[in-house]
Amino acid sequence: MVRFDPKMVIYVGPRKPYIKYFFNSELIELKKIEKTDKKAVVEVLSYSLEPEVINKFITQFNENAGEEDKIPSDEDRVKTVKSRIIPKVEFHIWYFQDGKWMKAEHKNIFIRQ
């Protein structure tokens, strides 16, 4: 279920609603993990992908199905978007409770200005 306030989306002229509001695709780059016995903090860079980039990745996958060595690696995909998209820095916090790792419900996101 996607939750958003419909008043946050404003339609201007004949433009169609921007798909990002409904299908937000991100490419995640793992930066650092700090772990103790009871807590882990995972730092990631999150790149919001534009529809054109998503289509490019899907096309590369479809054209090279069955030939995985021709599909760009995760590192290559990050290099593709890194020069064009400024990432969000996120910190995901995990706690070890009752013999299981549980993710905190919130994540800290730092917005660059």
CATH code of the domain containing 21: 3.10.450
pTM score, whole prediction: 0.61
- In-domain check, residue 92: yes
Tens of pLDDT along 54-105?
888 888 888 888 788 888 888 888 888 887 888 888 888 888 988 888 888 7
- In-domain check, residue 1: no
Nearest to 27 by CA among 65, 68, 84: 84
The count of domains in the chain is 1
- In-domain check, residue 83: yes
Can you give the residue range of the structural domain that contains 50?
A: 16-110
Torsional sign, CA 80, 83, 85, 89: positive
Cα of 109 vs its chain's centroid, Å? 12
